[in-house]
Homo-oligomer: A and B are copies of this chain.
Amino acid sequence: MSTEPTDHPTSVVGAAGRGIPGATVARLPIYHRVLGGLAERGIVTVASAQLAVASGVTSAQLRKDLSRLGSYGTRGVGYPVGHLRYEIARELGLTQDWRVLIVGVGNLGHALANYPGFASRGFRVAALVDANPALVGSYVGIAGHQLPVRPVRELADAAADSDANIAVIATPAVSAQPVCDRLVAAGIRSILNFAPVALSVPADVEVRMVDLAVELQILSFHEQRRAQNCPAGQVVGA
């Protein structure tokens, strides 16, 4: 019964048939990153209390999350940093090679193509595409891994040549849906969308959206609320 691959709404069935809640999946990258920092500092073992503080969660939450992956800790001792990090990477699919096609090489696409945090976590920028003729043919990317910008009409070829399995949309909002349609037609089934529009896709395609302004708007909400709670004219800081 517990190994039955159900269609449980917010949980996802893993390799061994374990259902991992979406809330836990969203925290695994955080633990993965924090464990990387500990490993760099030569730390070999970590207790749930320490790892939890560094991750911004409670130790109960951390242990509950980790217990879904398996039993990698040792009672009375803690968790092995390297091994736990590997198991999280494996669960997230970071032990395989991801080839990313970036569509839209404006300011944001350029920044993403150069972002060291992608490569360091196993995401290789495999192809670049843009609609602007002035950009097409230029080379973009981190030193030692430069790529030519290809015209948008070659999108399907670029996807096929690079064998991309994830696409990033970094175009203006108006181009995002047409680009998305072409990506889907080209066989891409995982899309990260930075354009501030919701995309419609077939059910077997996964789209995640990052709206850079949304976090600023949420911050605005909290800052405004703080200003309202304190009477005007208060001192602004230390």
Contacts and interface: CB of A to CB of B under 8 A. Distances in A.
Interface of A: 5, 12-15, 25-26, 28-30, 32-34, 37, 54-56, 91-94, 96, 98, 100, 106-108, 110-112, 114-115, 117-118, 121-123, 165-166, 168, 184-192, 196-198, 202, 204, 206, 208, 210-226, 228-229, 236-238
B114 A218 contact: no
Contact of A111 (B107, B210, B219, B222): B107
Nearest to A108: B111
Residue from A115, A185, A197 whose CB has the most chain B CB atoms within 10 Å: A115
A85 B147 CA distance: 42
Taking the full assembly, how many copies of this chain does it contain?
2
Nearest to A90: B224
Contacts of A196: 33, 117
A184 B238 contact: yes
A89 to B, nearest CB: 9
A33 B212 CA distance: 12
Nearest to A25: B221
Nearest to A22: B218
Nearest to A112: B212
